[in-house]
């Protein structure tokens, strides 16, 4: 039996009645752009995260972009982002006219390296964006400490980390602003595009509400030049239904990850490292292997799909050639890009399917090596 990388159909089958009814309700009420279903989701998600305000947006990239705009970040400013992330983190910085300043990542988790943060800060730094990559919280204690000492706001990129906890508290509740994506494949995925910003700051929330809707402060009164970056009513309805299942789905993901890690650890691939203060939500289960491409082709031959997140670090993307960083500029990010392999991960995975993936990795015949990346 082939093992898909993700299976969104299995999830829909499990919650079909709730979803269909919620969508039908929006269609009946014809509140397609923002509206009551979006307001309901914003309130529910704020309560889930333990923050005062959530503002729904058109996607995760606009969530980051509007967050920066709300703090008046623009041309001449710098925003610090990790070199190993999905391109959107850097793109949002570029979209507001600021310059993304890249920092290398940690060898064990692939998250922003706080020890490299200080050196990247200048008089022009206006924000720091740690990413909770793969659903594993970034080193928030150190990052927040450095940021607070310099008076620089932290914007969490929690686009892969809905529900993850750091020292028992949900990520998305630590930064001045925190951003989420509801792209269909994310742990909390819409049936289309979606995103949100979470914050305790009422003024910033109000500014983002205005910016996402053409800068309107009242109907047809445009206080500033804004955007069309609204969350759709149907997405609000779908997300409200799915939020109730999120903790259960995340628990399943963590169980699958432990199952993988206990069996793959001895095979020579390096399994994900989870620090004690972190409760991840395993958006992606990413191992590292010296012969990553060989392993990937071998799995493909056995019907096991896998993914690469991400095969090229930000500084080596053609789009960011103008930053002027060559190969070797961020060596840890480069090694992650070279060695990372994402194995199938979704809540509905069965033991049978997990075993097929594990057998596939074992059959590749990697030589057992000591786990140098374990803490
Ligand atoms: C998905 C993602 C985004 C962007 O979200 P979109 O909804 O696709 O715009 C940003 N950052 C990270 C880390 C992501 O994984």
Domain ranges within the chain, ordered by starting residue: 8-103+110-243, 247-365
Ligand 1 atom, smallest distance to 132 CA: 13
Tell me the best of 57, 94, 159, 284 to mutate to test the pocket of ligand 1, counting ligand atoms within 8 Å of each CB and taking the most. Answer: 159
pLDDT at residue 374, rounded to an integer: 42
Q: Which two tokens stand for residue 318?
A: 């053609």
Residue nearest to ligand 1 atom 10, measured at CA? 88
Nearest of 310, 242, 256, 250 to residue 280 by alpha carbon? 250
For ligand 1, residues with CB inside 6 Å are 59-61, 85-86, 88-89, 131, 157, 159-160, 181, 183, 195
pLDDT at residue 152, rounded to an integer: 98
Q: For residue 375, how far is its CA from the centre of ligand 1 (angstroms)?
A: 29
Tell me the best of 6, 56, 57, 61 to mutate to test the pocket of ligand 1, counting ligand atoms within 8 Å of each CB and taking the most. Answer: 61
CB neighbour class for 371 (10 Å; exposed up to 12, middle 13-18, buried from 19): middle
Measure Cα distances from 269 to 258, 262, 364, 366 in Å. Answer: 15, 12, 10, 7
pLDDT at residue 366, rounded to an integer: 62
β-strand partners of 127: 79
Measure Cα distances from 274 to 164, 169, 170, 234, 267 in Å. Answer: 12, 16, 16, 35, 19
The CATH architecture annotation of domain 247-365 reads Alpha-Beta Complex (3.90)
Ligand 1 atom, smallest distance to 160 CA: 15
* Residue range 116-171, pLDDT digits in tens: 999 999 999 999 999 999 999 999 999 999 999 999 999 999 999 999 999 999 99
Residue nearest to ligand 1 atom 14, measured at CA? 159
CB neighbour class for 149 (10 Å; exposed up to 12, middle 13-18, buried from 19): exposed
pLDDT at residue 360, rounded to an integer: 97
pTM of the complete model: 0.96
Q: For residue 144, how far is its CA from the centre of ligand 1 (angstroms)?
A: 22
Residue nearest to ligand 1 atom 2, measured at CA? 159
Q: For residue 274, how far is its CA from the centre of ligand 1 (angstroms)?
A: 22
Taking the CA atoms of residue 298, residue 302, residue 308 and residue 311 in that order, the dihedral angle to the nearest 10 degrees is 30
Q: For residue 229, how far is its CA from the centre of ligand 1 (angstroms)?
A: 15
Ligand 1 atom, smallest distance to 195 CA: 7
Ligand 1 atom, smallest distance to 181 CA: 7
Q: For residue 64, how far is its CA from the centre of ligand 1 (angstroms)?
A: 9
Q: For residue 198, how far is its CA from the centre of ligand 1 (angstroms)?
A: 15
Ligand 1 atom, smallest distance to 61 CA: 9
CATH topology of domain 8-103+110-243: 3.40.640
Q: For residue 94, how far is its CA from the centre of ligand 1 (angstroms)?
A: 15
Q: For residue 219, how far is its CA from the centre of ligand 1 (angstroms)?
A: 30
Supply φ then ψ for residue 88, to 5 degrees: -60, -30
Label each residue of the chain as H, E or C.
CCECCCCHHHHHHHHHHHHHHHHHHHHHHCCCECCHHHHHHHHHHHHHHCCCEEEEECCHHHHHHHHHHHCCCCCCCEEEEECCCCCHHHHHHHHCCCEEEEECECCCCCCECHHHHHHHCCCCEEEECCECHHHCCCCHHHHHHHHHHHCCCEEEECCCCCCCEECCEECCCCCCEEEEECCCCCCCCCCCCCEEEEECCHHHHHHHHHHCECCEEECCEECCCCCECCCEHHHHHHHHHHHHHHHHHHHHHHHHHHHHHHHHHHHCCECCCCCCCEECCCCCEEEECCCHHHHHHHHHHCCECCECCCCCCHHHCHHHHHHCCCCCCCHHHHHHHHHEEEECCCCCCCHHHHHHHHHHHHHCCCCCCCCCCCC
Ligand 1 atom, smallest distance to 193 CA: 7
Nearest of 13, 37, 35 to residue 23 by alpha carbon? 37
Q: For residue 218, how far is its CA from the centre of ligand 1 (angstroms)?
A: 30
What are the residue ranges in the chain where pLDDT is below 70?
Answer: 366-375
* CB-based contact 163:43 (threshold 8 Å): no
pLDDT at residue 220, rounded to an integer: 93
pLDDT at residue 268, rounded to an integer: 86
Measured between its terminal Cα atoms, the distance across the chain in Å is: 36
In degrees, to the nearest 5, what angle opens at C-alpha 163 toward C-alphas 352 and 176? 150
Q: For residue 168, how far is its CA from the centre of ligand 1 (angstroms)?
A: 24
Residue nearest to ligand 1 atom 5, measured at CA? 60
């Amino acid at each position: 039996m082939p093992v898909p990388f993700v299976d969104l159909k299995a999830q829909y089958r499990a919650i079909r009645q709730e979803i269909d009814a919620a969508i039908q309700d929006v269609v009946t009420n014809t509140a397609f752009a923002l509206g009551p279903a979006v307001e309901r989701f914003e309130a529910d998600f704020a309560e889930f995260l333990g923050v005062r305000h959530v503002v729904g947006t058109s996607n995760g990239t606009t969530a980051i972009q509007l967050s920066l705009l709300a703090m008046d970040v623009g041309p001449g400013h710098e925003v610090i982002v990790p070199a190993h992330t999905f391109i959107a983190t850097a793109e949002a910085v570029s979209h507001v006219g600021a310059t993304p300043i890249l920092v290398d990542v940690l060898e064990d988790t692939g998250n922003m390296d706080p020890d490299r943060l200080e050196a990247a800060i200048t008089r022009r730094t206006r924000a720091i964006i740690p990413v909770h990559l793969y659903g594993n919280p970034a080193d928030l204690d150190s990052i927040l400490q450095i940021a607070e000492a310099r008076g620089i706001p932290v914007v969490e990129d929690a686009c892969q980390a809905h529900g993850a906890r750091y020292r028992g508290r949900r990520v998305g509740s630590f930064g001045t602003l925190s951003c989420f994506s509801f792209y269909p494949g994310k742990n909390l995925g819409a049936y289309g595009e979606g995103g949100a910003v979470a914050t305790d700051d009422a003024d910033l929330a109000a500014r983002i509400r205005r910016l996402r809707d053409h800068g309107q402060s009242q109907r047809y009164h445009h206080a500033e030049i804004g955007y069309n970056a609204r969350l759709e009513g149907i997405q609000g309805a779908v997300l409200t239904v799915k939020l109730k299942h999120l903790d259960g789905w995340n628990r399943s993901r963590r169980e699958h990850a432990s199952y993988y890690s206990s069996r793959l650890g001895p095979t020579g691939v390096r399994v994900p490292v989870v620090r004690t203060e972190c409760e991840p939500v395993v958006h992606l289960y990413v191992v590292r292997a010296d012969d990553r491409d060989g392993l990937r082709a071998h799995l493909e031959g056995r019907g096991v799909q896998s993914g690469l997140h991400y095969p090229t670090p930000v500084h080596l993307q053609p789009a960011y050639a103008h930053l002027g960083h060559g190969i070797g500029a961020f060596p840890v990010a480069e090694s992650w890009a070279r060695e990372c392999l994402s194995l199938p991960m979704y809540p509905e995975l069965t033991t049978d399917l997990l075993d097929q993936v594990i057998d596939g990795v074992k059959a590749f015949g990697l030589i057992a090596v000591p786990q140098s990346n374990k803490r």
